[in-house]
Structure 1
Amino acid sequence: MNVLPSLDRAVAYAGAATDQAASSTEAVKGLLGFLRRQYRLILTIVAASLCFGLLYMIATPSSYTATATLIIDTRKNQLFQQQSVVGDIPIDSAAVESQVQILKSETIALAVIKDLHLTDDPEFGGRSGLLGMISGGLAWLFAGDASRSDFETLRRTAEAFSKHLTVRRVGLTYIIEISFTSLSSDRAAQIANAVAEAYVVDQLDSKYKATKRASVWLQDRIKELRDQASAAERAVVAFKANNNIVESGGRLMNEQQLAELNSQLVVARAQASEAKARLDRIQAVLQTDSPESTVDGTVADTLNNQVVSKLRSQYLDLATREADWSARYGRGHLAAVNLRNQMQGIRNSILDELRRLAESYKSDLEIATQREAGVQKQLSLAVTESQATNQAQVSLRDLESSSQTYRALYDNFLQRYMESVQQQSFPITEARVITQASRPLKASAPKLSFVMPIAAFAGLFLGLAVARLRDLSENVFRTTDDVKAVLKTDCIAILPQIEEQKGRPPVAAVLNGPRAIALNGSLYWHVVNEPFSRYAESIRSVKVAADLALRSGTGKVIGFTSSLPNEGKSTVATGFAALLAQSGARTILVDGDLRNPSLTRALTPDANRGLIEVMAGRDGLSQVVWQEGNTGLYFLPAVVAARTAHTSEILASQAMKALIDDLRKHYDYVVVDLSPLAPVVDVRTTTDIIDSYVFVVEWGRTKIDIVRHALDGARSLRENILGVVLNKADLKLMSRYGHHDYYRNEYYNRYGYSD
């Protein structure tokens, strides 16, 4: 189902490709035709340009170019300085290009000019070479020979110096080439080296001046910073005195006291807790009613009490004995009872000792509690004082920071000042010369291998431009395509340029009589005299167009006209009429140019009666018609005794229409030679009597605008044009315009035709 659309697209693509190829071919043909048409002009301009280049080579003196090379060395010399006071610019592409511009600056130029006294050198102060002499002569002619001032001389020398100086960076490296061109090879090398040396000196001088300016500024700034640093330090000391801020070992006194009190408070709290724990334990022992608890209950201090330890030892010994006696003799034995009484006495003694220890523990607890309260009070006072000190320290830190800043700035500026003093004594530049300029052995300009190709290319470009302008400014008819494109009608023939055959003997007259036309070698009879010429063949193409029009019933009366005089319409009309008559058609040629009857003067100079007399009824047609016997052509002359202003009315009259109608009846073709269309209006009045018109245009001469304007003013005539004939064409030049190669001689020679 999709086969047909695909096929349509393929056909469309193929058609587009074919059209594109055809347009490309036409463009190439147009270019080749343009070159064939204008090659003489192009070659002439190229030759003139080459001659001018050769003249320039002869007239221009030889100049020499010497080159010195320096490098912007990024490796700094650190022997006497660590860092530039004024700050070093990083060496990058922009920095190197900046150095190139400095080398081209006027400061360097003036330094070299003054050092080498170039104002006295005629190469710089005067004018040299052909162009210099010409400009000098013009300046002397218009400005006189007034002496120059020193300033003007210096300015002119600097301007000439900058024109001879070339500074460029070598690729993306840090190397810079300094080239100078001079008429003297020694002078060129001397100036190139002088420029490099002046640049190095300028760099050293600029650094020295910048460092000196920095040192002066640093002195004032150091003095100011010293005063500011001293004032800030005095403010810090005064603030500490006013706020009782004392430091010891890098720390504030109140901070040390606060730390010590805090440690004492911790110790006091621990002692109070320990005392309370011992008191609570011993009180718990005392409150127990069990005798074993009294004897066995101990606290840490009872273990170290000798009284309690001795009593407890006695108690344990008695308890052992009492247990032994009770086991032997019973609990009621008197010895066992005495032992238990002794044990009770010892328990009471232990109890009394424990009460004494409890009172001691109670006293220790009270002392520890009082000590804790005292330390707590001192700590609170210290905290209050520390808070006040901390608030003051905020302002103190600001004062100290300001003091330290001023002191650091002072120290830094003092160090930079010392460096600047050192750099003044030892200025160092990054630029150094790596190659001195030497005397060149060969001239750098003018170079034949450079000047002549440039002259040739310039001449070729100018020649193409002039040729193109000439081609566009012609605005004439050259090809049949021009006729079709501009006039929208067919070009039925292109007639070559022909020459009159002078010295040709007249052809023997076939008819003898008072109104017989003699056949001679003039252009009018070229078709008869040279029937195998290309001119005759082109006239035959006009006849073919006329025969086709006659078959349609509209081409029996044919008028020949043109835009301007001398375009050859009368010659074409005569040749066409002779060819018709020679082919057997009964043909009459009418001279309808009543303003300038040139055809009558050429063919029948002895005629004294003609068209006017027939229209007036004074003579019959048979009494005024002439005939050429070899072709059988009839001719009706126009004899005008005096200039007539109303010829257009004569051609538009009923008598003229009646005459043409009468001629239609007696002749197969009526050929009328009319006046030109642009100068007079006669042709515009003939549209009622003429069936069709042949419009003759002189090839390569008649302007397109004139033809277009003439035809636009006669629209009824334009509608009845049989075709356009390009006359007087140069067939050798025809092949240079478009696709007219078929006018070449070999094509016609095969069929027996000749020029």
Structure 2
Amino acid sequence: MLHSNMPQMNRDRRPAAAPSGEAGVGDMINFAFGLVRRQYPVILVSTALALALAVFYLRITPPTYKAEVQVMLDDRKAQYVKQESPLAEPDFDITRIESQIQIVRSSAVAIPVIKQMNLAQDPDLTSAPLSLSSIWRSIRNLFAPPDQTPPRTAADEPPEGLIAAFENRLRVNRVSFSNIIGISYSSRSPVRAAAVANAVANVFINDQMNSRFEANRRATAWLQDRLQRLGDQARAAERDVDAFKVSHNMVSSGGKPLDEQQITDLNARLVATRAQASDALARLNSYQAILHADAKNASTTEALGAVSDALSSPVINSLRTQYLELYRRESEWAARFGKNHVAVVNLRTRMRDVRNSIRDEVGRLAATAQSDYDVAVARQKSIEKQLDDAVSKSRGANSAEVALRDLEAKAKGYRSLYETFQHRYMGAVQQESYPISEARVIYPALPPDSKSKPKSALILALGAFGGVALGLGLGLLREMMDRVFRTSTEVETALQTPCLALTPRVQAPKSPKITDADIPLLDAERRQRIVPRRSSIDSSVVATPLSRYVEAIRAIKIGIDLSPSKTSNKVIGITSALPNEGKTTTAASLARLIAHGGGRVIAVDCDLRNPSLSASLAPGATTGLLEVLRGVRPLEEAIWRDRATDLAFLPVVWRRDPPFHTSEILASEATHKLFDRLRAAYDYVIVDLPPLSPLVDARAAASFTDCFVLVIEWGRTKVDVVQHALHNAPNVYENLVGAVLNKTDVKAMTHYDSHRSDYYSDRHYARYGATERV
């Protein structure tokens, strides 16, 4: 900032007048309203352009209609269907629902629908919308090598681009947390949208039915093959039993020799007794094997598989059925919910309870078998003793009966398993005839009455909102880039110097040209050179002394007179940072104002390279400041006077070859002596100096100037330029009385300085007779 880069002035800087007690939110609100008032043309233009773009988009974008069909996923089937089904029937959960949604979105559904509805000729899918990706794809295809793939025929599958376009228009989602999925399709035609949505639902349902039929067919084929193998094994076991009987001459008692009747009867009784003992022993061994296996933490149900008597027990069979069902559910739930899930742990607990019940029942059966075995053994021993007594030399016990029982048990097991699979096979065959699907349409798609997109109200609202936002952004950007002086507070903050006045922008009237009749008059009155009367801005001091402009010039004089820097400010330098900021007009107006008030004042044009003040007040001068400094002419012959205000003016005669070393001229001893004479002869010496940035003449004039007034053009001069100019001219800044914000747009000031909006109101000036007319 300026105050950190240049010497500080040894005087009190007056603080900027700011509203007390207002900060924070109030300042932000005032800034926002001021921004809108200042930048409303930009906001209106951007809003209008955004709305025009929105209307253009609505005109060129074809309408799109969306039709939706709702499909319910239901796994509830008749009880007899569940019993006869050879497949597992898991319940619907979020995973299965999401799987069904992905099936609807897949190409397995898209391809049949495209073929069925002949969507390959649909313009919605063949004409892709214009986008950056489509443009890039077209450019890339121009430089890509030619495609050698043979053209597709009518029987080929749809191309991937067509399938992708179809899937982009298809939307599938779950309706809330229900088992209902919504299938919607977007098209330019409402009838086409409804037809395609219904076709997708029908294809999906048919696919579900076909998949179930195919699964049942495969299960039935496997059961049929397995049933055939089991039947062959059962018949082979039965044939082995018959062959064994024939080979060992094991016939009924009527077929034996009569002389062996007694032995046969005893033998028959012995065989029966041994059979009973063998059966009882087999059962006992089986039960003990089951208990032994259970003691070793083996599966009780696996041990039961080899014991027919145990399986024939209704209690064990019921418990075994329960155990197998729990085991199946535990496997499914563990895979679905995890092994440590509460439901899985509960199933394991129930399985353990069923195993304990099976073990208890097997123990009871083992005790019964032990008792039966003991009785059979005792009876067998008795019959064997009788047989030994009857036949001393009979052959040893025939072990054929044991082998026969084994063969019969094997044949019985195969037959039982065959009958079980035959029952399941018949159920699977019946299941194929049930036309039941897991999905059904609950609300078919109907042609929509209104388009789904583009939404005109939303597009227009977004366009208006975007235009306003863009306008505010551009306006804020302009505000941030607008590094110029707008208010007196900005001047005082940026330059650390008081703002003496805000001179309003006034229109300069047209000045009449000097006629040939005026020149002889000047020559005749050479000793009393008269400033010609012209309609200029500075002449308004006399013409309209109550105007707002003149009141601002009075504020400059008061600021100079009341400056605490020095006791007397007689020689006042008027300068600016850049040319054309109004310093010359301000100097002439200030000089006329002081002269009109009765003060002795002389205006001196020290802008030696561009004497614009001389061109305005003394256009025909032939003697001026340079001639006086050289001693060619006396001071009295170079001074011009204004008849209306008795203003004295020392011009500079403009020549085609202006002096080069103007700064040395202003810093010379002759210039100092001249201004000492003027300081003694006049109350005020108003010096029109060159601007600070292009030249250094104003810095050279600081040696004979008591104070300076810096003129800044409102809304044009950059803050950085003025700070840099004062930074390079520290002697000017040290003697700076204040700054003047010139050419101010008073009406626009209410937008930039809302806190003091009443200060710029014309009604207060009009009350005291002030007027804006110049």
The answer to whether the Cα contact below 8 Å between 1:112 and 1:198 also exists between their aligned partners in 2 is yes
Quick check: 1:746 aligned with 2:763?
yes
Amino acid at match of 1:662: R
1:711 maps to what in 2?
Answer: 726
Cα pair distance change 1:643/1:503, threshold 3 Å: closer
Aligned-partner Cα distance in 2 for 1:217–1:568: 107
Aligned-partner Cα distance in 2 for 1:713–1:399: 103
The answer to whether the Cα contact below 8 Å between 2:86 and 2:219 also exists between their aligned partners in 1 is no
Superposition deviation, residue 141 in structure 1: 12
1:684 maps to what in 2?
Answer: 699
2:525 maps to what in 1?
Answer: 513
2:31 maps to what in 1?
Answer: 30
Residue 494 of structure 1, aligned match among 491, 502, 506: 502
The answer to whether the Cα contact below 8 Å between 1:493 and 1:539 also exists between their aligned partners in 2 is yes
Aligned-partner Cα distance in 2 for 1:67–1:438: 8
Matches within 5 A, 1:67-146: 67-73=68-74, 75=76, 80-81=81-82, 88=90, 90-92=92-94, 96=97, 99-100=100-101, 103-105=104-106, 108-127=109-128, 139=138, 143=142
Matches within 5 A, 1:589-600: 589-600=603-614
Amino acid at match of 1:72: L
Aligned-partner Cα distance in 2 for 1:142–1:648: 72
Aligned-partner Cα distance in 2 for 1:405–1:720: 118
Superposition deviation, residue 53 in structure 1: 2.2
Quick check: 1:438 aligned with 2:485?
no
The answer to whether the Cα contact below 8 Å between 1:127 and 1:136 also exists between their aligned partners in 2 is no
Superposition deviation, residue 661 in structure 1: 2.1
Amino acid at match of 1:715: P
The answer to whether the Cα contact below 8 Å between 2:73 and 2:180 also exists between their aligned partners in 1 is yes
Aligned-partner Cα distance in 2 for 1:599–1:210: 107
Aligned-partner Cα distance in 2 for 1:66–1:529: 81
Quick check: 1:694 aligned with 2:724?
no
Q: Secondary structure at the match of 2:445?
A: coil
Residue 610 of structure 1, aligned match among 624, 645, 658: 624
Aligned-partner Cα distance in 2 for 1:72–1:736: 66
Quick check: 1:64 aligned with 2:65?
yes
| Higher gyration radius (CA) | 1
Amino acid at match of 1:588: I
Amino acid at match of 2:190: S
1:649 maps to what in 2?
Answer: 664
2:649 maps to what in 1?
Answer: 635
Cα pair distance change 1:209/1:566, threshold 3 Å: farther
The answer to whether the Cα contact below 8 Å between 2:530 and 2:640 also exists between their aligned partners in 1 is yes
Cα pair distance change 1:85/1:647, threshold 3 Å: farther
Identical residues among aligned pairs (%): 39
Matches within 5 A, 1:237-386: 248=281, 251=284
The farther-off stretch of 18-27 and 421-430 is: 421-430
Q: Secondary structure at the match of 2:530?
A: coil
Cα pair distance change 1:567/1:164, threshold 3 Å: farther
Aligned-partner Cα distance in 2 for 1:568–1:637: 18
The answer to whether the Cα contact below 8 Å between 1:550 and 1:556 also exists between their aligned partners in 2 is no
Q: Secondary structure at the match of 1:441?
A: coil
Q: Structure 2 regions of 5+ residues with no counterpart?
A: 1-18, 228-277, 307-319, 332-419
Q: Structure 1 regions of 5+ residues with no counterpart?
A: 1-17, 223-244, 256-388
Quick check: 1:533 aligned with 2:544?
no
The answer to whether the Cα contact below 8 Å between 1:657 and 1:689 also exists between their aligned partners in 2 is yes
Residue 660 of structure 1, aligned match among 651, 663, 675: 675
1:458 maps to what in 2?
Answer: 466
Superposition deviation, residue 37 in structure 1: 1.0
Superposition deviation, residue 541 in structure 1: 0.8
Aligned-partner Cα distance in 2 for 1:659–1:210: 120
1:734 maps to what in 2?
Answer: 749
Quick check: 1:180 aligned with 2:180?
no
Quick check: 1:192 aligned with 2:197?
yes
1:587 maps to what in 2?
Answer: 601
Amino acid at match of 2:37: R
Quick check: 1:483 aligned with 2:497?
no
Cα pair distance change 1:540/1:399, threshold 3 Å: closer
Q: Secondary structure at the match of 1:613?
A: helix
Deviations 1:707-735 (A, max 9, x none): 22222222332222211211111112111
Cα pair distance change 1:656/1:199, threshold 3 Å: farther
Amino acid at match of 1:118: L
The answer to whether the Cα contact below 8 Å between 2:294 and 2:300 also exists between their aligned partners in 1 is no
Q: Secondary structure at the match of 2:24?
A: helix
Q: Secondary structure at the match of 1:499?
A: coil
Cα pair distance change 1:746/1:84, threshold 3 Å: farther
* TM-score, normalised with respect to structure 1: 0.66
Aligned-partner Cα distance in 1 for 2:706–2:223: 110
Q: Secondary structure at the match of 2:771?
A: coil
The farther-off stretch of 571-580 and 587-596 is: 587-596
The answer to whether the Cα contact below 8 Å between 2:491 and 2:739 also exists between their aligned partners in 1 is yes
Cα pair distance change 1:624/1:189, threshold 3 Å: same
Aligned-partner Cα distance in 1 for 2:211–2:546: 95
The answer to whether the Cα contact below 8 Å between 1:71 and 1:434 also exists between their aligned partners in 2 is yes
Deviations 1:464-499 (A, max 9, x none): 222211222212211112112222222111111110
The farther-off stretch of 154-163 and 726-735 is: 154-163
Superposition deviation, residue 81 in structure 1: 3.6
Deviations 1:179-220 (A, max 9, x none): 322211211112222232344345556667788999999999
Q: Secondary structure at the match of 2:703?
A: coil
Cα pair distance change 1:636/1:655, threshold 3 Å: same
Superposition deviation, residue 78 in structure 1: 5.3
Deviations 1:616-667 (A, max 9, x none): 2222222222222212222222234324443223222222222222221111
Amino acid at match of 2:538: Y
Superposition deviation, residue 113 in structure 1: 3.1
Cα pair distance change 1:490/1:399, threshold 3 Å: closer
Cα pair distance change 1:441/1:639, threshold 3 Å: same
Cα pair distance change 1:405/1:594, threshold 3 Å: farther
The answer to whether the Cα contact below 8 Å between 2:511 and 2:534 also exists between their aligned partners in 1 is no
1:273 maps to what in 2?
Answer: none
Amino acid at match of 1:171: S
Aligned-partner Cα distance in 2 for 1:696–1:246: 131
Aligned-partner Cα distance in 1 for 2:115–2:286: 76
Q: Secondary structure at the match of 1:42?
A: helix
Aligned-partner Cα distance in 1 for 2:282–2:144: 93
Deviations 1:123-175 (A, max 9, x none): 221256xx589977995899499999879993443444344334444333333
2:52 maps to what in 1?
Answer: 51
Cα pair distance change 1:533/1:216, threshold 3 Å: farther
Aligned-partner Cα distance in 1 for 2:628–2:137: 75
* TM-score, normalised with respect to structure 2: 0.64
Q: Once superposed, what is the RMSD of the aligned Cα atoms?
A: 4.6
Deviations 1:90-123 (A, max 9, x none): 524x665565555445554444334433232222
2:372 maps to what in 1?
Answer: none
2:258 maps to what in 1?
Answer: none
1:170 maps to what in 2?
Answer: 175
Cα pair distance change 1:19/1:696, threshold 3 Å: closer
The farther-off stretch of 595-604 and 570-579 is: 595-604
Quick check: 1:671 aligned with 2:686?
yes
2:357 maps to what in 1?
Answer: none
Aligned-partner Cα distance in 1 for 2:500–2:491: 10
The answer to whether the Cα contact below 8 Å between 1:561 and 1:674 also exists between their aligned partners in 2 is yes
